[in-house]
Amino acid sequence: MVRFDRVGRRFGSVAAVDDLSLDIAANEFVALLGPSGCGKTTLLRMLAGFETPDTGRVLLDGKDISAVPPYRRPVNMMFQSYALFPHLTVAGNIAFGLKREGLPRGEIETRVAEMLALARLTGLGERKPDQLSGGQRQRVALARSLAKRPRVLLLDEPMAALDRKLREETQFELMELRRRLGLTFVIVTHDQEEAMVMADRIALMDKGRIVQTGAPAEIYERPRTRWAAQFIGDINIIEGRVAADGSGVATDALGLLRAPVPAGLKPGDAVVLAVRPEKIALATSGDNNVAGTVSEVGYRGDKSLYKVAVAGGLSMKAAVANAVRAGGPAMGLNDRVTLSWPADAGLVLPP
Amino acid sequence: MTRRFSSFNMVSLTLGLAFLYLPIAILIIYSFNASRLVTVWGGWSLRWYAALLEDSAMLAAAWTTLRIALMSATAATVLGTMAALALTGRRRFHGRTLFAGMVYAPLVMPEVITGLSLLLLFVALDVDRGFWTVTIAHTTLTMCFVTVVVQSRLATFDRSLTEAAQDLGATPGRTFFLVTLPLIFPAIAAGWMLAFTLSIDDLVIASFTTGPGATTLPIRIYSEVRLGVKPEINAICTLMIATVAVGLTVVSLIGKRNAARRQRAAGAPL
């Protein structure tokens, strides 16, 4: 439904978006995820109409909308700062877009009431934005952007200003809303947890390009580059070469570590082995066993994070779920442990 | 920790305020003097205010001044706001820094020079000097003050508000009238008041650019005082002070209320 066709946008000498293509299907929830300055907001603003691509085209339903001004696009955006009009009431804010459409008065009133109910703001319609809490303002911004029933709803860091608890609640609310309304959502976020919880598909961006797109689980479990693996979640990276027999990665410090080697790599190629901390157990039963000493313990309640010093001056992290009630982490500082993980837990990536 | 108000501060404050307001206080008090002699106190009276109502030349000058102030302040507000919008717009244009600097020039330019150059311009254009030339001159003088006031408000204006309006289907023109204008209106009003008061009390530029039949109040007062101070002058000056004081109080109250509102909006609990 939305297609970015080789779009590019430069600010001075910096390419904010660089020859990027992306398709977004109808009713899809896509998250643009990346570090700050990766171009994700510029991409979103191109879809809203606030930025014009220097090269390439933005298509909506097959029509080129690159030159269409924002006020003629069937796309609405929820701003990071919410951008509520301070001189209008909550109802006035929600009605703003409907009035511009020239809808009859009765229709506007019905829709505003509908939106207030949807955003759980009933009874607050006559308040001014500065009389609302942060969470309420966020819901007004959402209601306002939904009031015109846009084809695509754009969310620019919608939860950046909310505290953790409220953020989680709002995430689930948004997901439910989306199921009910059947809209296409594009969200920009630097919060990977937010992207993984809500999105059907994540477009991971860096330096104006898309590094990888895929379902959250795919991005997490099958990152295609070292950068992607390190950006999402926590991961151990061990440098080495493809083993002579192709059964894993040969490392200087830790010997042969078994892992599935993708086709196309020859023995001796420089690679890195990437293993997520939660895939590593403190036991000696896996395909790969590495001995070490606990150098740091982080107790997080639901799990404990161990930093383990292993041979060759390397350090590896293991996350262990605290499944049984106990007085604290199972291992202490300077305990000798063996880290083990199955061969298929490891990812062999280009260095 | 609050520091005590030291006696040194107290003395300097008293001296400073006395220096500023003593002459004005004397003028106001003597405007209620019953005696014809300006320097002799003859008891309280309103007779000079009554005499003022008889002085048709003075009243005509006051009316001229008021009309010039209203017109030039309005014109200066429109032009000054437009300049401020152009100078703070998102789209930069060539020479913007130069123009921004040039807007400030009339603020520091000696009024004699502004007055003289306008006079030369009007003479060169062969324009009959009078009401309109003073109005134009005051517009040029006060426009930059409006620009500075409006510009400082626009500097803190959240651009995402205008973007949100456009996103919701408002054309750039409607966005201006529905969102930008209502939000910067207090600054525009303050700019207008400033231009209005500046125009009312200007003597220098008005004397350069005026002509027959367009005597403003300050010119009239100045020419009368040269022949000796009459008690009516004290009365008219007291009225002018009252007008300006009311204007400035309104401006500062508007400014304070808006600052408080903005602070509340920014600092509201999340």
Where among A221, A249, A272 does a domain terminate?
A: A221
Q: Are residues A195 and A306 in the same domain?
A: no
The 3-state DSSP class for residue B125 equals coil
Residue A338 sits in a domain of what CATH number?
2.40.50.100
Q: What is the pLDDT of residues A206-254, one digit of tens each?
A: 999 999 999 999 999 999 999 999 999 899 999 999 998 888 999 988 8
d(CA B233, CA A264): 100
Q: What is the pLDDT of residues B92-151, one digit of tens each?
A: 677 778 888 888 888 888 889 989 999 999 999 988 888 999 999 999 989 999 999 999
Q: Do A48 and B164 touch (CB under 8 A)?
A: no
For chain A, what is the domain count?
A: 2
Would you place residue B2 in the very low, low, confident or very high pLDDT band (cuts 50, 70, 90)? low
Q: Are residues A206 and A275 in the same domain?
A: no
Q: Are residues A171 and A23 in the same domain?
A: yes
Q: Are residues A15 and A124 in the same domain?
A: yes
Q: Do A130 and B265 touch (CB under 8 A)?
A: yes
**Region of residue B142 (phi > 0: left; psi between -120 and 50: alpha; otherwise: beta):** alpha
Residue A91 sits in a domain of what CATH number?
3.40.50.300
Q: Are residues A250 and A214 in the same domain?
A: no
Where among A193, A221, A249 does a domain terminate?
A: A221
User: Residue B261: enclosing H or E segment and its boundaries?
Assistant: helix B231-267
Q: Do A83 and B160 touch (CB under 8 A)?
A: yes
* Residue A229 within any structural domain of the chain: no
Q: Would you give the DSSP letter of residue B178?
A: I
Q: Are residues A299 and A179 in the same domain?
A: no
Residue A300: count of CB within 10 angstroms of its CB:
10
In this structure, of A17-26, B41-50, B200-209, the range with the lowest mean pLDDT score is B41-50
Residue A92: count of CB within 10 angstroms of its CB:
18
pLDDT of B264: 63
- Check if the beta carbon of residue A112 is closer than 8 Å to that of residue A94: yes
Q: Shortest Cα distance from A155 to chain B (angstroms)? A: 12
Domain encompassing residue A261 = 234-349
* Residue A228 within any structural domain of the chain: no
Q: Are residues A68 and A170 in the same domain?
A: yes
- Closest-approach residue (CA) in chain A for B269: A133
Where among A221, A246, A264 does a domain terminate?
A: A221
The 3-state DSSP class for residue B129 equals coil
Q: Are residues A144 and A283 in the same domain?
A: no
Q: What is the pLDDT of residues B43-78, one digit of tens each?
A: 888 888 888 888 888 888 888 999 999 999 999 999
Question: CB-based contact (8 Å) between A101 and chain B?
Answer: yes
- Closest-approach residue (CA) in chain B for A81: B160
pTM: 0.79
- Check if the beta carbon of residue A210 is closer than 8 Å to that of residue A22: yes
Q: Which residues of B touch A71 (CB under 8 A)?
A: 166-172
Q: Shortest Cα distance from B157 to chain A (angstroms)? A: 11
Q: Are residues A184 and A268 in the same domain?
A: no
With tokens 């029933």, the residue in question is A149
In this structure, of A6-20, B36-50, B69-83, B146-160, the range with the lowest mean pLDDT score is B36-50
Q: Are residues A201 and A288 in the same domain?
A: no
Q: Are residues A200 and A320 in the same domain?
A: no
pLDDT of B1: 46
* Residue A78 within any structural domain of the chain: yes
d(CA A42, CA A46): 6
Q: Are residues A22 and A69 in the same domain?
A: yes
For the segment(s) B57-265, the CATH number from 1.10.730.10, 3.40.50.150, 1.10.340.70, 1.10.3720.10 is 1.10.3720.10
User: Residue B160: enclosing H or E segment and its boundaries?
Assistant: helix B159-167
Q: What is the pLDDT of residues A39-87, one digit of tens each?
A: 999 999 999 999 999 999 999 999 999 999 999 999 999 999 999 999 9
> What share of chain B in percent tops pLDDT 70?
93
Q: Which residues of B touch A86 (CB under 8 A)?
A: 183, 261, 265
- Closest-approach residue (CA) in chain A for B267: A130
Inter-helix orientation angle B181-201/B56-88, to 10°: 140
β-sheet with A270-275: strand ranges across: A255-258, A248-251, A236-242, A270-275, A347-349
CB neighbour class for B95 (10 Å; exposed up to 12, middle 13-18, buried from 19): exposed
CA within 13 Å, CB half, A219: 30
d(CA B133, CA B129): 6
